[in-house]
Amino acid sequence: MKLLIDIGNTNIKWGLCQGKEILSHGEATNKIWKSLVQTHGVTHAVITHSGKGVAATLQELKNLGIPVTEFNTTSPLPLTVDYATPETLGPDRLAAACGAWLQTNHEACVIIDGGTCVTIDYVDAIGFYRGGAILPGIDMQLKALHQNTARLPLIPWERSIESDPLGRTTHESMLAGTVCAMQFAIKEFVQYYSRGNIVPKVFVTGGDGPIITSHISNTIFDPLLVLKGMATLPIE
């Protein structure tokens, strides 16, 4: 049994995997690893990390005697990485791309991950990861507007709030400049990647994913995209 651990900037997500099938998953703190390892007979862990808390997780797994493999561009991947600086490529971006590519029938795909940062990545029809874009997430943008101005308020990001491009209060205008602008930007990125006869499949993951892609039709929302990519490593 493999234990998959994705340490992000905000949350830590885990999955239990047999072969490439994810049997169970959830969000966690470092205190859960001992229980998962002992209860489910975990023999190996695969980890991605783009946030804090990595050292504590690695130490806990070491104390439990569990070998750890880091998912990165040197791993045996179903994709070919065509990126100028592969050593800087976020492993979560790469894992999500792998998870999406394996769900296509050798078709181009766009992967949108709406988390602390929003990432937009492109994989072509022959399985080459070509790169993409990184944008500040909605919550990060709202905090920056407040912290770097004298009068703009701090608006808590509530995913249930509808946004209108024509803001008629300062509050609404800030949401228009963040949520709506993000939606417009993502739509333009998808159109850019859809050049010529290419119509890529659009995969969406992350907590803010469904909202920031709500103006794009035929998206495939998969909250387990990163974990599915990590599960591709041939380790048992």
Angstrom distances, CA of residue 123 to CA of 36, 50, 105? 34, 21, 12
pTM: predicted TM-score of the whole model, two decimal places:
0.92
- Domain annotation for the chain: domains and CATH numbers: 1-70 (3.30.420.40), 72-236 (3.30.420.40)
Residues 6+ apart with CB under 8 A from 28: 12, 13, 14
**pLDDT tens, residue by residue, 7-26:** 988 888 999 999 889 999 99
Has residue 214 got a pLDDT over 80?
Answer: yes
Sign of the torsion angle spanned by Cα atoms 55, 26, 161, 166: positive
**Tens digits of per-residue pLDDT, 69-98?**
999 999 999 999 999 999 999 999 999 999
CB distance 117 to 137 below 8 Å: yes
- The SS3 call for residue 14 is strand
Catalytic residues: 92
Supply the pLDDT for residue 122.
97
| Section 206-227 average pLDDT | 93
Cα(first)–Cα(last) distance of the chain, in Å?
6
Mean pLDDT of all residues in 183-199 = 90
